[in-house]
Amino acid sequence: MLHVVPAFSRIGEENAFAVLARAQALAAQGRDIINLGIGQPDMPTPPHVVEAGIKALRDGHHGYTPATGIPPLREAVARDIRRRHGVEVSPESVMIVPGGKVTMFMAILMFGEPGAEILYPDPGFPIYRSMIEYTGATPVPVPIREENGFAFSAAETLALITPRTRLLIVNSPANPTGGVTPKAEIDALVAGLAAHPDVAVLSDEIYGTMTYDGETHHSLLSYEAIRDRLIYLDGASKTYAMTGWRLGWSVWPKPLYDNARKLAVNAHSCVNAATQWAGIAALDGPQDCVAEMVAEFDRRRAIVVAGLNALPGVSCIAPKGAFYAFPNVSRTGWKAKALASTLLEEAGVATIGGPDFGVHGEGFLRLSYANSAENIRRALERMQGFLSERK
C-alpha cells in the first residue's frame, strides 16, 4: 500500500479541463460542439514572437538558464511595468516562471499552513482554493457580487481579515466574471490594509491588458504603501496568446524573492530558454497585436452580452475585462451546473457552471468569448432554442 500524503486528497482541479475533454470526446463522435468553456485566446501567438522562439532554438539556446530567468527578459518585464503601470521595479525583483499559476503556487506555499487563513475571490480562479487547501491553510472566500459589478468590495474584504490572515489574493480583471475593480475600491482596500501590516497581497493581473468600455486597469504595484508585501502576478499566456509556451513573471518584495528562487530551483530549474527569448520579443516588440486582439474580444463581447440578455430567464451585466461573460441563469429554472452539462450534451455548447468557481458562483454560467463571432452567434441560437424548449 502506497502512503501518499493526505494533502493530495485536498488538491482540486479546474473543471474547465474536464469540460474540454468531454467536448473533445463528443466532437470525436462526430458532434458539432461549440466550445465557450475554454479560457485561452483562440488567436495564434503573434508571428514575430513565434519567430523569436524559433531563432532562439536555432541560435543554440538549449540549456538551463538562471532559475530566476534570463536578465534581458527580466529587464523587458521591468520596462513593460514602467510602460503600462508607470511604476519602476528593479529587474532584480522580477522572477520568470512557467506560467501565472506558478507564481500563485509559490506565494500560497509561502504563506499557507494549518492555522493560517488565506482570503481569495469567490467566484474566482479555482486553483486559488485548491492550492490553499493543499497547504492546510483555511480558505476564506471573499464574495464577489453581481450587484457590485463583480468588483471586490474593499469593506467586505477588510472585514474578513483576522489575526490569522496571512495572504489576500486579489484578481482584477477577473476570471470567471470579467469584473474589474475600480480604482476607488482599490484605494480603499490599500488604505484599509495599513491596519494589517502582516497581511501579504497576491495581485493576479494576468488579464491586465484586457479592459473595455473605457475602463482602465489599476495595478496594485502602483501603491507604494504595500510594495513591501505585494506579489505581482502577470504573464504572456493571455496577453500574447501564449498559453502553451508557459511563460509568466512576478515581482516579489526583497525578503520573499529568495524563497521564490529556491522553489524554482527545486521545482522546474528554469523556464524553457526559447520561450524566454520569445517573451522578450513579445514585451519589447510592437503592441498593436495586443490592441487588435482586445478590440476583437470587445466586438464579441457585445454579441455575447446582447445575445445572453435576449435568452429567457437570463441576464448578463457587461463584463469590463478579461474575455468571459458571467450571466445570471438563476431565473431559468435550472441549477447552473446541470444547465452547463445539459447544454453541452444536448445543445453542443460547452460552458462552465458558476459553482466550479466557488459557492458564490451558484446561479451563474461562465462563457468564454475566445471563439469566433460566428460560433458565438451559433451558440447563442442553440441556447435560445434549448431554453425555450426545456423550461
**Chain residues that interact with ligand PLP, rule: CB under 6 A:** 39, 99-101, 125, 171, 175, 204, 206, 235, 237, 243, 248
Q: Which residue's beta carbon is nearest to the bound ligand PLP?
A: 99
CB of 76 to ligand PLP, least distance (A): 17
> What is the chain's length?
391
Q: Answer for the pair 304, 34: CB distance below 8 angstroms, yes or no.
A: no
Closest CA to 139 of 121, 163, 151, 158: 121
In the complex with ligand PLP, which residue's Cβ is closer, 125 or 134?
125
In the complex with ligand PLP, which residue's Cβ is closer, 153 or 237?
237
Query: Strand pairing of 117-122 and 138-143?
Result: parallel
CB of 370 to ligand PLP, least distance (A): 11
E strands of 205-304, at which residues? 230-235, 248-251
In the complex with ligand PLP, which residue's Cβ is closer, 206 or 226?
206
CB of 60 to ligand PLP, least distance (A): 27
Closest CA to 336 of 146, 206, 156, 185: 146
CB of 255 to ligand PLP, least distance (A): 24
In the complex with ligand PLP, which residue's Cβ is closer, 77 or 347?
77
In the complex with ligand PLP, which residue's Cβ is closer, 248 or 327?
248
In the complex with ligand PLP, which residue's Cβ is closer, 297 or 334?
297
CB of 118 to ligand PLP, least distance (A): 15
Q: How many beta carbons lie within 10 A of that of residue 325, not counting itself?
A: 27
CB of 237 to ligand PLP, least distance (A): 3
Q: What are the grid coordinates assigned to 16, written together? A: 474547465
Q: How far is CA 199 from CA 45, 84, 222, 237, in A?
A: 37, 26, 18, 28
SS3 167: strand
Closest CA to 346 of 21, 20, 32: 32
CB of 310 to ligand PLP, least distance (A): 27
Q: How buried is residue 192: exposed, middle or buried, by Cβ count under 10 Å (0-12/13-18/19+)?
A: middle
Going 272 to 256 to 119 to 213, the CA torsion angle's sign is negative
In the complex with ligand PLP, which residue's Cβ is closer, 206 or 383?
206
In the complex with ligand PLP, which residue's Cβ is closer, 104 or 158?
104
In the complex with ligand PLP, which residue's Cβ is closer, 74 or 238?
238
CB of 325 to ligand PLP, least distance (A): 14
CB of 356 to ligand PLP, least distance (A): 12
Residue located via cell numbers 517573451: 279
How many angstroms separate the first and last alpha carbons of the chain? 49
Query: Strand pairing of 34-35 and 349-350?
Result: parallel
Contacts of 326 (CB under 8 A, 6+ apart): 123, 146, 150, 176, 177, 178, 179, 316, 319, 354, 364, 365, 366, 367
